[in-house]
């Protein structure tokens, strides 16, 4: 039986890395002909990303991890102007190293397997040129949803007619794969950025057509309109074939290095003592943060709602080392007593899986959305950065699977008041709410999608067949 090797190139962001490794594992479990080499970039931010990569891949003997040599990061002032432009330049700086390593893998003196393709994070799209030079097919992996892919395709077509950045005064418009017109306020911040962010998005969007296929961390039943749209486009030659393979989730995720076992045990013990579906979980991702004034409004909203809560706040610089207690309303901790718990970090997957959780106030990162859907926990939308505004719009307006708190929130620009928070919590915690019922239904559908015969497993089968041909049992 001929062996086949895939080379994966993720970006060094934990949400992307985890999703990419899960995709790799699922491909390996589906077909024993495959092996995978993962090229790991060292994070320019000196974060704990590197500590995640090895544990994620350690359990798979058919995943080989190669650390790329370090590169000189772009100037720090570019990071202040545009995170996306900084990251895109950082990724481009790795191309020489990637080409050398991929060439060495493709052209060994002797080997029992052949390299059948490169799987590139969407933001590594410029590396398609490396694949082309080596006569390898390249596949882009969109770690978020088909809606975001639709936006990138819209940017590509729009750029031919209008090369300017978006303006907040622009009218709403229709994104490919969306049912509803999209307000400009819910677009990702980079499309407004004049310091390289918009240009970075355009450079990625322009390479979509050059990929052999596009793998998306979604499932057909979640985004049926978008999947149908792209499938029709592939038939008409307008875009490469897409493979909806999600949800890609690390349900046995390693806890954050900042969370010690004692803290985890304390959280779970407290949840064990709460009634079923009675607790609101508030968590805003690894990079989501709030100002002291917002912390106070959240506390007031929680107190006024009367619900039990688990709250994992992260303070915005330069306040992150300040005492959280000093920012809370006077007497707040005494008033809530045992009805609430505040912790710097929480094991999100384990918390969402707990029977006590009844609602999730989330920044709407795509991994968090998929985790909440998997466990049937309805979301209150509080997007903050990246494509989270668009995710929130999709969940509320396109799918009816979340409760709107804000759709167009931008950190440091809007203060969400206690009354708004209280009102949203009442809606999502209502046991008879339509949203809660729809989320429970989608939870069952998501789990079926990744079982044998499910839509995502069939899509993975098509992807592998396109890569290495149909498996023949001897």
Looking at residue 413, its pLDDT comes to 62
291-318: pLDDT as tens digits: 888 899 999 999 999 999 999 987 665 5
369-381: pLDDT as tens digits: 999 999 999 999 9
Q: Which of 146, 85, 123 lies closest to 207, judged by CA?
A: 123
Give the residue carrying structure tokens 């607790």: 279
Packing angle of the helix pair 434-449, 366-374 (nearest 10 deg): 90
431-472: pLDDT as tens digits: 778 899 999 999 999 999 999 999 999 999 999 999 988 776
Average pLDDT over residues 28-43: 94
Q: How far is residue 143's CA from residue 19's CA, in Å, rounded to a whole number?
A: 6
Looking at residue 356, its pLDDT comes to 98
> Which pLDDT band, with edges at 50, 70 and 90, does 46 fall under?
low
Using the predicted structure, report yes or no on whether residue 474 has a pLDDT greater than 50: no
236-253: pLDDT as tens digits: 778 899 999 999 998 876
- Report the range of poorest mean pLDDT among 16-20, 259-263, 381-385: 259-263
Looking at residue 235, its pLDDT comes to 66
Average pLDDT over residues 180-207: 96
> Which pLDDT band, with edges at 50, 70 and 90, does 262 fall under?
confident
Non-local CB neighbours of 397 within 8 Å, separated by 6+ positions: 180, 407
- Report the range of poorest mean pLDDT among 232-236, 317-321, 358-362, 374-378: 317-321
Q: How far is residue 186's CA from residue 174's CA, in Å, rounded to a whole number?
A: 13
What is the Cα 66 distance to its own chain's centre? 23
DSSP code string of 253-317: PPPPTT--HHHHHHHHHHHHTSPTT-EEEEE-TTT--B-HHHHHHHHHHHHHH--EEEEE--BPT
Bridge partners of 214, per DSSP, are 140, 242
- Report the range of poorest mean pLDDT among 321-325, 376-380, 413-417, 454-458: 321-325
Average pLDDT over residues 172-183: 94
- Report the range of poorest mean pLDDT among 97-106, 129-138, 321-330: 321-330
The pTM (predicted TM-score) of the whole model is 0.94
Q: How far is residue 74's CA from residue 81's CA, in Å, rounded to a whole number?
A: 12
Looking at residue 61, its pLDDT comes to 87
Looking at residue 259, its pLDDT comes to 62
Q: How far is residue 46's CA from residue 78's CA, in Å, rounded to a whole number?
A: 17
> What domains are defined for the chain?
3-246+450-468 (3.40.50.2000), 261-446 (3.40.50.2000)
Average pLDDT over residues 220-246: 90
Q: How far is residue 202's CA from residue 163's CA, in Å, rounded to a whole number?
A: 9
Between the two ends of the chain, the Cα-to-Cα distance in Å is: 9
């Amino acid at each position: 039986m001929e062996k086949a090797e895939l080379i994966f190139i993720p970006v060094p962001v934990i949400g992307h890395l985890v999703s990419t490794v899960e995709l790799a594992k699922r491909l390996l479990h589906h077909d024993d002909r495959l092996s995978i080499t993962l090229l790991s970039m060292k994070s320019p931010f000196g974060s704990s990303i590197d500590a995640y990569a090895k544990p994620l891949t350690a359990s798979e003997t058919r995943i080989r991890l190669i650390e790329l040599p370090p590169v000189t990061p772009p100037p720090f002032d570019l990071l202040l102007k545009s995170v996306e432009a900084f990251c895109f330049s950082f990724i481009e700086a790795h191309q020489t190293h990637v080409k050398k390593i991929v060439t060495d893998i493709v052209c060994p003196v002797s080997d029992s397997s052949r390299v059948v393709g490169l799987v590139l994070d969407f933001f590594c799209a410029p590396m398609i040129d490396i694949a082309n030079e080596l006569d390898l097919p390249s596949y882009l992996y969109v770690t978020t949803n088909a809606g975001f892919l639709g936006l990138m395709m819209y940017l590509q077509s729009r750029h031919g007619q209008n090369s300017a950045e978006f303006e907040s005064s622009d009218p709403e418009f229709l994104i490919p794969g969306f049912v509803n017109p999209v307000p400009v306020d819910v677009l990702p911040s980079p499309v407004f950025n004049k310091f390289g962010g918009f240009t970075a998005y355009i450079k990625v969007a322009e390479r979509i057509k050059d990929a052999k296929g596009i793998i998306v961390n979604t499932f057909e039943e979640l985004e049926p309109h978008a999947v149908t749209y792209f499938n029709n486009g592939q038939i008409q030659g307008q875009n490469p074939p897409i493979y909806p393979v999600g949800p890609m989730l690390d349900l046995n995720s390693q806890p954050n290095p900042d969370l010690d076992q004692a803290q985890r045990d304390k959280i779970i013990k407290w949840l064990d003592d709460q009634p079923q579906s009675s607790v609101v979980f508030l968590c805003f991702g690894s990079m989501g943060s709030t100002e002291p004034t917002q912390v106070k409004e959240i506390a007031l909203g929680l107190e006024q709602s009367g619900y039990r809560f688990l709250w994992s706040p992260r303070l915005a610089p330069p306040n992150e080392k300040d005492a959280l207690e000093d920012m809370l309303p006077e007497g707040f901790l005494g008033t809530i007593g045992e009805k609430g718990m505040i912790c710097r970090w929480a094991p999100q997957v384990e918390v969402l899986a707990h029977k006590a959780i009844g609602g999730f106030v989330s920044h709407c990162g795509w991994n968090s959305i998929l985790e909440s859907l998997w466990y049937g926990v309805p979301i209150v939308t509080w997007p903050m950065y990246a494509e989270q505004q668009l995710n929130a719009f999709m969940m509320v307006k396109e799918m009816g699977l979340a409760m709107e708190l804000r759709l167009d929130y931008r950190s440091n620009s809007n203060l969400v008041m206690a009354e708004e928070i209280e009102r949203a919590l009442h809606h999502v915690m209502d046991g008879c709410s339509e949203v809660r019922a729809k989320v429970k239904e989608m939870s069952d559908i998501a789990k079926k999608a990744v079982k044998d015969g499910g839509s995502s497993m069939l899509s993975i089968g098509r992807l592998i067949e396109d890569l290495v041909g149909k498996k023949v049992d001897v």
